[in-house]
């Protein structure tokens, strides 16, 4: 996780803009959908195949897509996004920035 500081844009006053980056490295943990486990059985180096060949077969693309969806569904599940600890004392949902900072804190702990 990290912050990205974009330089000042003379056309848009107000100073630099800060963005956030969440880098998610895919891994196989054993609870993936059947399509993913079948593909991994045939290609044991999945999901860490070389990126030298950027032309994916349909089956390879679908396996990566399915695994990415599986990982992010868990990471950004409703249980995390609506966790009571992510709401302020007045029970208002936190801003995206506050949520991100809380997420960073959870990963660091």
pLDDT in tens, 4-59: 888 887 777 777 777 778 888 888 989 999 999 999 999 999 999 988 988 999 99
Q: What local confidence, expressed as pLDDT, does residue 92 receive? A: 60
Q: How far apart are CA 71 and CA 43, in angstroms?
A: 19
The domains of the chain are located at 2-108
Of 65 and 100, the one with more pLDDT: 65
Q: What local confidence, expressed as pLDDT, does residue 39 receive? A: 96
Q: How far apart are CA 105 and CA 109, in angstroms?
A: 6
H/E element holding 4?
Answer: strand 2-6
């Amino acid at each position: 996780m990290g912050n990205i500081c974009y330089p000042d844009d003379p056309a848009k006053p107000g100073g630099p803009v800060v963005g956030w980056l969440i880098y998610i490295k895919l891994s196989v943990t054993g609870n993936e959908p059947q399509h993913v486990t079948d593909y991994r059985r045939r290609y044991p180096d999945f999901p860490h195949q070389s990126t030298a060949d950027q032309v994916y077969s349909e089956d390879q693309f679908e396996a990566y897509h399915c695994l990415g969806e599986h990982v992010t569904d868990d990471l950004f599940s409703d249980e995390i996004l609506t966790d009571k600890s992510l709401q302020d004392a007045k029970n208002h949902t936190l801003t995206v920035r506050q949520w991100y900072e809380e997420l960073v804190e959870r990963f660091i702990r």
